[in-house]
Amino acid sequence: MDGDETPEEQLEIGDSSQVPHFDDNVELKSVFNFSLNQRIMEGCVVSAILEPRGVETIVAVSMTNKVIIKDVESPLNITETIRCIAAAPIGDGYDCIVIGTDASVICYDVHNNLTVFRNDVPDGVNCFAYGKLGDLEEAIYCGGNCCIWGFDKTGANTYWTVTGDQVTTMCLSDYDGDGETELVIGSPDFEIRVFKNDLMRAELMETDEITSLAHVTNGCFAYSLNNGTIGTYVMKERQWRIKSKSNVSKIFNIEEQGLMVVVWKQGKVDLRFAHNGEVLSRDSVPTPVASATCSRNAEDATITVVCLDGKAKTFKVQKATSGAVDKTQQMIREFGQKKHNLMMELSNYEQEEQMTEAEKAGDFRIPADTEVGVMFIVNCEVQLLSLRVEATHNIPIRGVLIFAEGLFEGESYIWIPPNEHQSRSAIDIPLVIDKDSTNDLHTKVFLGHVDSNKLMVMENTRILPLFCRFTPLKAEYSKFFIMPTGFIKFDINTRAAKLSEWVSESFTIDASLLDMFDEPEGEFKFMGLRPKHEKSLMFKITQSDKTFTIYHDDIETMGALVQSYASFFQIQHMECVANFPDVFKEAEEILEELEPMTEVRDRLTAELQERQAAVKEILIRAEDSIAIDDIPDARKFYIRLKANDAAARQAAQLRWNNQERCVKSLRRLNKIIENCSRLRVGEPGRQIVVTCRAAISEDNKQIVTKVLQYGASSQ
């Protein structure tokens, strides 16, 4: 099995000083196999108790868009396209199946054959989480495109908020260990966001798309990324992570024993310690995995892994029978490896001692006090930020290796001179940064003379500031400053005394320029660097009315600026006046067209239904004709069927196009609301979301842009 051979790389590991001791003498044991006899859709497998006093059974979604229940003959038939499935214990002692489709959430009670509720979610549902969030009642949380919905067990909408991107995975976990659960969501924009009730609590930047999240213990949750990384966060900090070439399908935890089970898409199944990721036992299934589920019948947990071809294998966690022996073997091997490395190093030193001076000189040694400087420099002429690597004593640089997560394509950047005689002692590496995020740049610089066969490696770490895309405008380059039209204006908080501290942390700036930011009044201009070099930035502090104005055109960056500013000065609550004419105009346009669009959709749906009814009727009539051997008439009916079918298809296409546009607009509107909410800090930001939601559902659209502009308290 090739999945088993995939090398793993331990990226970081937390200090394990106070880790409780867990029994490591456990293993995964394959219990039995069965088959669902259908191809299964990826990610759509749950286990649920479907009848009172029943046992947990497997519920999956087939590729043919049917819900399959294990050991039940006929599948459930859902007319819309299924995207995800979950089980929620809202029946009377049993679970109901919750089905997320591209247009609605359906909660279905299998035992009584009744739809508990069916709610429209216009842009579809991608994932579910069921449970108690903060001080809210238990509910089903549905992650959609840029928004999250919550429905209670009667189907009433109890929760709604917006987020920065599509929600691909969610879990309810106590993120900060305060005894209340938070909603942790993962998005394709590399971010894990944590919501406490409906207020965003934290944003955790990761290095790739988040593929799954799982609650582990109080204050701890596990995550996995598209690039094969898995890891855990404990009390807001990342505890460990491990990278592998394969992709994670699902993570479960077995809390009592401090274990977690990781199921990989390629078929690998690992049992690991939750506190350090150490693998205790592995097993595998022969074909690619669709998803897996964990059921807890009578004390011990069983894990059922369902493959894409419908085959399923069940594992149990039990006391190891041969685990101890394996462990010793592995340890011996590790020590053997270590010994070998040390011996190599020793022999190097011995060799050194035996060498003569002449030999040493021929080696092109570099002086012992050679240093390598790594700094950020800005080339104003081309508006480009670069990383300058410079070696003293004119030692040529033979190669630079920069490791920075998510900054470069493929994580690291390698610079090698095109031809070794062109190596210089100073080089500039351009940094074209798309995102506003702090990043650690780990550089390894290889030094050595051209003819030398040994290179010296110098390591260095630099922190890339959050807003390194901006640099203070110098007078001679004022042509690059384009006055932005968008701005926000807020009152200066007494805490924010020294602006220079924030500026020095968040921007690449010369220390000599810092002092000017502490002046009580003034305008501070920044120019943008590539790739968004046409977007300039300006701070304006007015002492007369004690306001701080930030001019910038990109609303997302503005949001990041505000959040960074607030968190630096620990401001919990900040309202502002925003002015982004383009964005507000767009929002208004969307609101304008939304209503006619839903109306048209209704009409188109009715038309489609009518056409479909005609098709069905003709089909029956044709069958009738065949049954009485009236072939000429049957032929006529089939010709008519063809025409009607074409008409029905056309109607369906029309409706689909309309729907697509409608969903797109909705997504954009959600995004705008989210962006505007991020221009405020704390409660005012939350209020904007709530007020906009209320205004839209109450058809009170005029106030939406006003709220976005002046905040929720403005009305």
Partner 1 sequence: MSLSPLRMLQVCNSSLWQPELLDVSFVFLDPSFDSFLKMADGPVIEFTGFMKAFRLFRENRLSEAEVVCTNLLRKNPLDQATWALKMQCLSDSTFVDELDNEDMGLAETFLEQNVIATSARPGTSFQRPKTTAKGMNPIMRPSTNAGRPLSGVVRPQTSFKAGSMDQAVRTARTAKTARAVSSTSARNMRLGTASMAAGADGEFVNLARLNIDKYAADPQVNRQLFEYVFYYVNDIRVAHQIAGTASKSASFEDYYWKNQLAKCYLRLGMLNDAEKQLNSSLNQRKLIESFALLAKVQNRMDQPVAALKTYAQGLESFNEDVTMLTGIARVQEALGEYDLSVDMYKRVLDVQSNNIEAIACVATTHFYDGKPEIALRYYRRILQMGVSSAELFMNIGLCCFAAQQFDFAVSSILRAQSTMTEDVAADIWYNIGQVMIDVGELEYAARAYSIALTHDPDHSESLVNLGILKHRDGKIDESRAMFSSAIAKNPLMFEGNYNLALVCLAQGRYHEAKNLIGKALEAFPDHEHCKRMYENMKPLYESV
Report the interface residues with partner 1, using CB under 8 A: 51, 73-79, 104, 108, 110-115, 118, 120, 599, 602-603, 605-607, 609-610, 612-614, 616-617, 619-621, 623-624, 627, 699
Give the C-alpha separation, 204 to 190, whole Å.
8
Please identify, using beta-carbon distances, which residue of 118 and 668 lies nearer to partner 1. Answer: 118
Whole-angstrom CA distances from 619 to 615, 624, 632 are 6, 9, 15
Please identify, using beta-carbon distances, which residue of 543 and 609 lies nearer to partner 1. Answer: 609
Please identify, using beta-carbon distances, which residue of 74 and 322 lies nearer to partner 1. Answer: 74
Give the C-alpha separation, 209 to 406, whole Å.
10
The contacts found for 188-193 with CB under 8 angstroms, 24 or more apart, are 189/164, 189/165, 190/406, 191/164, 191/165, 192/223, 192/233, 193/163, 193/164
Q: Least distance (Å) from partner 1 to the CB of residue 603? A: 6
| Total length of the chain | 715
Q: Least distance (Å) from partner 1 to the CB of residue 50? A: 10
Residue 23 has which token pair?
């029994």
Q: Least distance (Å) from partner 1 to the CB of residue 252? A: 29
Q: How far apart are the first and last CA of the chain?
A: 64
Please identify, using beta-carbon distances, which residue of 29 and 621 lies nearer to partner 1. Answer: 621
List, in order, residues 6 or more apart from 316 with CB less than 8 Å away: 28, 29, 31, 300, 301, 302, 303
Q: Least distance (Å) from partner 1 to the CB of residue 122? A: 13
Q: Least distance (Å) from partner 1 to the CB of residue 58? A: 17
Please identify, using beta-carbon distances, which residue of 301 and 634 lies nearer to partner 1. Answer: 634
CA-only gyration radius of the chain, Å: 31
Q: Least distance (Å) from partner 1 to the CB of residue 651? A: 11
Residue 397 has which token pair?
């640089």
Q: Least distance (Å) from partner 1 to the CB of residue 120? A: 7
Give the C-alpha separation, 306 to 293, whole Å.
8
Please identify, using beta-carbon distances, which residue of 454 and 616 lies nearer to partner 1. Answer: 616
189 exposed, middle or buried (CB, 10 Å; 0-12, 13-18, 19+)? middle
Strand order in the sheet with 522-528: 470-472, 522-528, 537-542, 547-552, 487-491, 577-579
Please identify, using beta-carbon distances, which residue of 132 and 642 lies nearer to partner 1. Answer: 642
Please identify, using beta-carbon distances, which residue of 215 and 611 lies nearer to partner 1. Answer: 611
Q: Least distance (Å) from partner 1 to the CB of residue 106? A: 8
DSSP-assigned letters across all residues of 409-421: TTSEEEE--SSGG
Residue 228 falls in which region: left (phi positive, over 0), alpha (psi -120 to 50) or beta: left
Closest by Cα among 434, 444, 678 to 565: 678
Q: Least distance (Å) from partner 1 to the CB of residue 488? A: 35
Give the C-alpha separation, 389 to 374, whole Å.
5
Residue 325 has which token pair?
């022996």
Please identify, using beta-carbon distances, which residue of 25 and 700 lies nearer to partner 1. Answer: 700
DSSP-assigned letters across all residues of 74-119: SPEE-SSPEEEEEEE--SSSSPEEEEEESSEEEEEETTTTEEEEEE
Q: Least distance (Å) from partner 1 to the CB of residue 78? A: 7
154 exposed, middle or buried (CB, 10 Å; 0-12, 13-18, 19+)? exposed
CB atoms within 10 A of CB 148: 24
Q: Least distance (Å) from partner 1 to the CB of residue 610? A: 5
Residue 562 has which token pair?
């505000």
Residues facing residue 39 across a β-bridge: none
Please identify, using beta-carbon distances, which residue of 101 and 161 lies nearer to partner 1. Answer: 101
Residue 17 is which amino acid? S
Please identify, using beta-carbon distances, which residue of 119 and 246 lies nearer to partner 1. Answer: 119
Please identify, using beta-carbon distances, which residue of 38 and 612 lies nearer to partner 1. Answer: 612
Please identify, using beta-carbon distances, which residue of 345 and 610 lies nearer to partner 1. Answer: 610
C-alpha neighbours within 13 Å on the C-beta side of residue 44: 30
CB atoms within 10 A of CB 31: 13
Q: Least distance (Å) from partner 1 to the CB of residue 98? A: 13
Please identify, using beta-carbon distances, which residue of 534 and 617 lies nearer to partner 1. Answer: 617
Please identify, using beta-carbon distances, which residue of 108 and 524 lies nearer to partner 1. Answer: 108
Residue 24 has which token pair?
């490591």
Give the C-alpha separation, 210 to 265, whole Å.
15
704 phi/psi in degrees, rounded to 5:
-60, -50
Give the C-alpha separation, 575 to 563, whole Å.
12
Geometric angle at alpha carbon 713, from 596 and 498, rounded to 5°: 120
Q: Least distance (Å) from partner 1 to the CB of residue 623? A: 5
Helix (H, G, I), strand (E, B) or coil at 150: strand
Please identify, using beta-carbon distances, which residue of 115 and 485 lies nearer to partner 1. Answer: 115
Q: Least distance (Å) from partner 1 to the CB of residue 100? A: 15
Give the C-alpha separation, 319 to 323, whole Å.
9
Residue 467 has which token pair?
């807003």
Helix (H, G, I), strand (E, B) or coil at 533: coil
Give the C-alpha separation, 663 to 201, whole Å.
27
Give the C-alpha separation, 563 to 706, whole Å.
22
Q: Least distance (Å) from partner 1 to the CB of residue 337? A: 58
Q: Least distance (Å) from partner 1 to the CB of residue 39? A: 20
Q: Least distance (Å) from partner 1 to the CB of residue 81? A: 13
Please identify, using beta-carbon distances, which residue of 246 and 612 lies nearer to partner 1. Answer: 612
